[in-house]
Amino acid sequence: MLSPFRVLDLTNQRGLLCGKAMADLGAEVILVEPPGGSPARRLAPFYHDQPGPERSLYWFAYCANKRSVTVNLETADGRELFKRLVETADVVLDSQDNGYLAGLGLGYQELRQVTPDLVMTCITPYGLDGPYSGFKANDLCLWAMGGFAYLTGDADRPPVQISFPQAYLNASLEGAVATMVALYHRETTGQGQQVDVSIQASVSRNLMNAPLFWETSGVNLARSGPYRVGLSVSSGQRVLWKCADGEVSFFMWGGKSGYRINQALVAYMDEEGMAPQFMKDLDWENFDMSQASSELFGVACLLDLFGNNTYQRSLHSGGYEGTWGTAVLVDGMGSAFNQKLWDLLQSLAEYDVAPFSLLFGLIGG
């Protein structure tokens, strides 16, 4: 798809996935690293827990399919060498601090003199201009400034952080998509452009429909603990359920896919003698999620269904006829849980379950 294009990748951990996505789509992506290598080479976890620039699993994950060259942009010779590389390139990816490359005479305005139709994508915490454009930020700051942390956690406690840092990953993929749109524009008009990716703005996309509740109903959605809010103003759907040896996340769906999943759930519960009559009587084919009651979303029989079962049994039953597997593991990411997950995956190999009927996720601190 992108095989005709050459991409120069100057990103650090804020933007590595952007180049990775383009490399996976066929682009020739060349990492331009400083002497001593990119700082991202020193990010944990490491192969066999032994630190080193050639042992970072983080680096391997987000730099596969890329080539690499060392260029010292702090020297005049290095800057000239980089400009020669730009002469052969279609795209430059940058996630350095705002203004760093421009301060070296390698900003977009300078590089477009070298390659007039260049597409240059800049991934920064708050964008290239605006009141916060010069601010630094880490993953937690960006989740908070993007609004997502406000919705994450219990109502009577401070917000909590997503277990694995994802703000940079959101922005990287937004950057990859925007870069491809810019390349399409260049192919049709002959014009290059600068693509400005704000990580804060990218994170805010995860709010989904939450901002619309203020516009339509004057309501600010808030943290709701084990409940999923945003389906309607009046009720929230419980998504975290205690099991005998931990927790799982399970939620009901609406629409045509929800019809199959919910019907299968009720059938399984009925076999176990746990399905209340009102669930058996519901018209699941025409079930409107926005009109569902708190009685359904927090129904006691589901507490019993999961509470009397282990991880394995909950997820095995989630593969009932390959239809209602929306149960997801919820736990920390320590070695004990990793062993538990491995044991579970081995046990699931015995079951004939449709490929996408079980969704596994790692959530927690």
pLDDT in tens, 217-252: 888 888 888 877 766 545 567 777 787 777 777 777
Angle of helix 16-24 versus helix 167-189 axis, rounded to 10: 50
CATH topology of domain 6-204: Rossmann fold (3.40.50)
From residue 188, alpha-carbon distances to 26, 105, 137, 179, 237 in Å are 20, 29, 37, 14, 47
Yes or no: say if 74 and 113 are a contact pair by the CB < 8 Å rule: no
- Tokens 């004990």 found at: 336
HSE on the CB side for 161, CA within 13 Å?
11
Yes or no: say if 73 and 111 are a contact pair by the CB < 8 Å rule: no
**Where do the structural domains in the chain lie, given as residue ranges?**
6-204, 227-348
Tokens representing 80?
């000239």
Tokens representing 165?
């840092």
Q: Place 355 in a pLDDT band, splitting at 50, 70 and 90.
A: very low
Q: What's the rounded Cα separation, in Å, for the pair 149 and 141?
A: 9
User: Are β-strands 67-70 and 28-33 bridged in parallel, bridged antiparallel, or unpaired?
Assistant: parallel
Q: So what's the pLDDT on residue 336?
A: 46
- Give how far the C-alpha of residue 164 lies from the chain's centroid of Cα atoms, to the nearest Å: 9
Please report, rounded to a whole number, the percentage of residues in the chain having pLDDT higher than 70. 80
Q: So what's the pLDDT on residue 8?
A: 98
Residue 193 φ then ψ, to 5°: -165, 165
Does 334 score more than 50 pLDDT?
A: no
CB atoms within 10 A of CB 293: 12
Q: Among 64-73, 109-118, 291-300, whose mean pLDDT is lowest?
A: 291-300
Q: So what's the pLDDT on residue 328?
A: 54
pTM: 0.79
Yes or no: say if 218 and 155 are a contact pair by the CB < 8 Å rule: no
| Range with top average pLDDT, 139-148, 160-169, 187-196 | 187-196
Torsion of CA 319, 269, 302, 238, to 10 degrees: 50
Q: Place 75 in a pLDDT band, splitting at 50, 70 and 90.
A: very high
